[in-house]
Amino acid sequence: MTTAEPRQRGSRGSFTQHRPQSTKDSPQTERYDEFTTVDWVYDTMTEKARALAIRRRLATGSWLSWLTLAYEAAQAWIVTFLAGAFIGLDTAMISVVTEWLSDLKIGYCSTAWWLNEKFCCWENEDQFGSCDDWHSWSYVLTGRDFYIVNWILFITFATAIGWSCAYLVREYSPYAAGSGLPEIKATLCGFIVEGFMGGWTLLIKSIGLAMNPFRTGKLVMFQVKYDQDWHFFEIIFFVILGIFGGLYGALVTHLNVKVARFRKLYLKSHAVKEVTLLATGTAFISFTNMFLRLDMGELLSILLQECKSSNWGKICDRDLSGRMIWLLAAATVLRTIGTIVAYGCKIPCGIFVPSMAIGATFGRMLGIIVQMIHTAYPKSMLFSQCPPDTPCITPATYALLGASAALCGVTKVTVAVVVIMYELTGALNYIVPTMIVVMVAKVVGDYFVHGGISEQLILLNGIPFFDNEATLPDIPIKSLMKTDLVVITSGLQKIRDIENILEDNAYQGFPIVSSKNDMVLSGYITRRELEQALEKARSMSAPTAEVLCRFGTESSNNSGGGDVEPRIPEINSSLSAPNVPSSGPYASPTISDQVVAPSSSGNMVIDLSQWVDVNPMRVDQRMPAATVLEIFRKLGPRAIHVMQDDSILVGFITRKDILRSIFHCNAKSHSPIIHSTSDSNQMFLGVRRSGDGSGLYSRNWSLSTSNNRSEDEYIELRQS
């Protein structure tokens, strides 16, 4: 491996090497540094050590010890209960306010203004779910119902709500915009963006979901029951629903990404205006169609009900089947267009409920069409399984299956969709049809678009995320590692020099080496623990500039220079790291216990070796990159040290570096491209276990370069 000569970095304990040009961020990866990486391995070990230390300290048998241990054991359950209770309360409030604001755009309850239309007309509702106690705004203003007045006021209310929602998001919590699915997926992969999980995001997201002008905030949980079973010949129509779901998902994903890209380029500074115009346009169109005028949760509850349970808007009247087909078709097309344009704008909004509503309108339309065909040709061979003089086709079940297909098509989620639909309906006999439409939708959708809409937006917005299907070429990890290292030597150093390292670099951790010449790895220290150690060191009586520190054992410090005397008596026993165990591999050292005096001077020396992780995760430089990818994916470390001959540190690779490498490799359709500063051919040793599993064999790799290019040149890696 070719690197530049080591050079000083403004402090005694660090050195740098030239960083390959391949690590330059592309527009799709430049946001990675906004996210903090979670070290699952370190956090797991720290928590286990903390719990063990607590049990050891409290193993006295007293009632207080047992109470403390019981609290430690019950913490997870307490947090789960409190989180569930709060989420339930928050969801209930969102549900109530959403329904009330949705109906407020049409009118209000004259007997109790705080009631929505459903509760206002609980005992005397008509076929449209209204009653005499519910007054439209035109009736309130003029004493009569005027369609045009209601239309104008509907648009006015929707526009005002949309503007208010967008304004709150812009001013108080920009992270509250959107569904939050990309950020949640990144969080589950160990990448946290500061501010996303904050209280302002929760508050504004809750308010925004209740005020959402597009009514995409929630799914009202309801239960429907289908008494009639499905017939074998209906599989033909179930496949049609699955094809629709796959095509819908591919179309929405493809076009919405284009809209999102346009929004980032041209509408970034006009978010409130965009939402206001979208709310106005959506309200203008929605009022003309009774299926678009409804809240989406209420619409789903209507479309999924059998005719014997509900005939809202005369949807079950056979004489009006043609009109219903056109209204449902228009609702499907218009809502699809609205979802493509509106999803991703700067308000809290989701994709689940709109997709289910779109699938339900299409499914109900198809069910009515099949019902009309059966009515016209009852003795056809296609309907030979239908019993005479009894209903054979249930359009509501087609709405259920259409909702499942559309949801699967846009999210590429399969098993979860089947489970959700079963929980909604409790119809065990429709599990098989649901599986059929979901399977077809997934196959059709995957043919056109890889991944769901959230994965596409993750890629577009540059959010770090581990795709389970992501791979790396068969190359050694030394081809991808960073050689631009900032390390700390284990020998004696001034605390002032260590502070300079922290000021000059934003890295979250630093390797500890015996010296910058031999680069023998001694351990690793995180930035947080280093800052805590230095802060406690400053609290000592001696001036900070005169205090020295070291990060290695006495034997390792001898190699770094300086003879070490035995430790001097304790100065202050209270200087220990907070919330860290007092024993074990992740123990909390007491700084005053680590004070020693070098023989060459009277300066105070603080031994910080107990703050160092002496067994950091490391791999050999010849290990295949795909294997290292699996280590990051399965174990979740923040970083891995790349070693030569088991002890010499030659490189460093983080979880973000792996993601950048995946992106660069997938962005090229030909052989993997790797950057290098070398203008000479090199041989890489790829390591792989032999076919019989008994050992390893080597593979030669050739790097062909051109002498006419600069350090930025690409070097194509080909298997020789």
Q: What is residue 602's predicted lDDT score, i.e. its pLDDT?
A: 59
Residue 297 has pLDDT above 50, yes or no: yes
CA angle 33–35–38, rounded 5-degree value: 120
Closest CA relative to residue 719, chosen from 481, 479, 477, 474 = 474
pLDDT at residue number 324? 92
Pick the more confident residue, 218 or 207.
207
Q: What is the DSSP string of 146-157?
A: -HHHHHHHHHHH
Q: Is the pLDDT score of 499 beyond 70?
A: yes
Confidence (pLDDT) at 215: 53
Give pLDDT, residue 569. Answer: 29
With CA atoms as reference, report the closest residue to 13 among 537, 646, 500.
500
Whole-angstrom distance, CA of residue 426 vs CA of residue 428: 6
Q: How far apart are CA 156 and CA 54, in angstroms?
A: 61
**4-28: pLDDT as tens digits:** 333 333 333 333 333 343 445 666 6
- Complete DSSP assignment for 425-482: H--GGGHHHHHHHHHHHHHHHHHH-SS-HHHHHHHHHT-----TT----S-BGGGT-B
Residue 426 confidence (pLDDT) above 80:
no
Q: Other CB atoms closer than 10 Å to residue 688's CB: what's the count?
A: 15
pLDDT at 337: 95
Average pLDDT score, the chain: 77
Say what the pLDDT of residue 403 is. Answer: 93
pLDDT of residue 649: 93
Q: State the angle between helix axes of 181-188 and 453-461 in degrees (0 to 180), rounded to the nearest 10.
A: 80
Rounded to a whole number, what is the distance in angstroms from the first to the last CA of the chain?
18
Is a pLDDT exceeding 70 seen at residue 179?
A: yes
- CB 541 within 8 Å of CB 591: no
Q: Are 270 and 200 in contact (CB under 8 A)?
A: no
Q: Is the pLDDT of residue 39 over 80?
A: yes
- The region of weakest confidence among 118-132, 457-471, 542-556, 684-698 is 684-698
Work out the average pLDDT over 381-406: 88
Residue 16 backbone phi and psi in degrees, to 5: -130, 155
Alpha helices for 312-394 (secondary structure H): 321-342, 352-376
Is 50 exceeded by the pLDDT of residue 695? no
Q: Is pLDDT above 80 for 106?
A: yes
The pLDDT confidence band at residue 667, using thresholds 50, 70 and 90, is: low
* CB within 8 Å of 190: residues ≥ 6 apart: 37, 38, 39, 40, 636, 638, 655
Please give the average per-residue pLDDT across 83-88, as a whole number: 92
44-58 pLDDT, tens per residue? Answer: 888 888 888 777 777
Q: Is the pLDDT of residue 346 over 60?
A: yes
Please check whether residue 531 is in contact with residue 636, taking contact to mean a CB–CB distance below 8 angstroms. Answer: no
Q: How far apart are CA 476 and CA 626, in angstroms?
A: 9
Judged against a pLDDT cut of 60, whether residue 142 lies above it is answered with yes
Q: Which residue has the higher pLDDT, 579 or 492?
A: 492
Lowest mean pLDDT among 186-195, 217-226, 616-625: 217-226
- What are 55-67's pLDDT values in tens digits? 777 766 677 777 8
Residues 104, 97: Cα–Cα separation, whole Å: 10
pLDDT at position 448 is 92
Predicted confidence at residue 708, as pLDDT, reads: 35
* Per-residue pLDDT at 592 exceeds 70: no
pLDDT band at 581; cut points 50, 70, 90: very low
Task: Please write the tens of the pLDDT for every residue from 209-239.
Answer: 887 765 554 444 556 777 788 888 999 999 9
pLDDT tens per residue, range 513-564 = 988 888 899 889 888 888 888 887 777 645 544 678 888 754 444 333 333 3
Query: Token pair 């290019």 is at which residue?
Result: 709
What percent of the chain has pLDDT above 70?
Answer: 78
Q: What's phi and psi for 654, nearest 5 deg?
A: -105, 170
Pairing of strands 191-193, 35-37: antiparallel
Task: Give the residue with greater pLDDT, 719 vs 430.
Answer: 430
Q: Rounded to the nearest 5°, which phi and psi values hold at 554?
A: -60, -40
- Higher-pLDDT residue of 417 and 30 is 417
What pLDDT score was predicted for residue 550? 81
Share of the chain above pLDDT 90, in %: 27
In this prediction, residue 454 has a pLDDT band, given cuts at 50, 70 and 90, of: confident
Alpha-carbon separation of residue 27 from 32, 470, 515, 667 (angstroms): 10, 19, 37, 12
